[in-house]
Structure 1
Amino acid sequence: MTHLAQPLPGLDDIAPLVAPANVPGQSIQAQFEAFHHLNPWVLRHLESLTRDAIAKGFTRIGIGMLFELLRYRYGEATRGDEFRLNNNYRSRYVRLIVDRHPEWSGLFELRALRAA
C-alpha cells in the first residue's frame, strides 16, 4: 500500500478565479494588484505551500514550483474551470510573500523586476 500525501489544509476555500478587467496599456504591477484584490485566496495558498515546504526541510523554494503545485491543487478542488494564473505575477507574489514573512527572505531568489 502506498502512502498518498494529505491535501493541504484550506483547500476547501479554493474558489474559481475572478479575472480583472483587461485595461490596455496597464502595467504588470497594476494587473497583479487587480488580480490579487479579486483572488486573495491565491496568496494564502502560496503561503501554505511555503510553510509545508519549510516543514519538509526545504531551504530554497522556487516560486515556479509553488505556482505549479497551486495549479495542480486547483485542478483537484474545482471542476471545469481552467486555472489562469499568469506567470507574470510570480515575481510580484514572491515579493508579497517575503514582505509578509521577512523570515522567509532567504528561501526565495529575488531578481530585478523587468517591468513596473
Structure 2
Amino acid sequence: MPGLDLPHHDVRPTITEQFHAFDAGHPWVYRALEQLVVQRLAAGAKRVGMKALFEALRWRHPHGVKGLNNNYTALYARRLLAEHPQWACAIEVRRRRSP
C-alpha cells in the first residue's frame, strides 16, 4: 500500500544460487561424485542414488564436507547427466518444481 512502510526482508539466495557458489568453491565434490558413479556402474549397479553418493562422500571425509547440503543432490544429478548423458538410465531425475 502506498505510504505504508513495511519491514524490509533480506532476499536470500535461491538453492540454485547456493549450489553454484558451493560448487565453485568445492570443484572436487563434483569430480568425486563422478568417480563414485563410475565405480558403482563398473561394479554392476543398474541404478545410482545421489543421496547415497552424498553419504559416501561424507563417510570418506572424517569431518564431513562442510556445506554439502542435501538440497544439492538434484542439481548435481542434473550436472552429471548433462556431462554424461549415457548415465540417464542409472540416475533418475524428476521434473523441477522451482527455477
Q: Check the 8 A contact 2:19/2:75 in 1, yes or no.
A: yes
Could you tell me the TM-score, scaled by structure 2's length? 0.83
Q: Which has the larger radius of gyration?
A: 2
Alpha-carbon separation, structure 1, partners of 2:96 and 2:61? 27
Could you tell me the TM-score, scaled by structure 1's length? 0.71
Equivalent of residue 35 in structure 1, options 7, 12, 22: 22
Shift of 1:111: 1.1
- Aligned counterpart, 2:7: none
Shift of 1:109: 1.0
Gaps of 5+ in 2: 1-9
Q: Percent identity?
A: 39
- Aligned counterpart, 2:41: 54
- Aligned counterpart, 1:109: 92
The size of the alignment, in residue pairs, is 89
CA RMSD of aligned residues (A): 1.5
Moved over 4 A (4+): none
Bigger relative CO (Cα 8 Å, ≥ 6 apart):
1
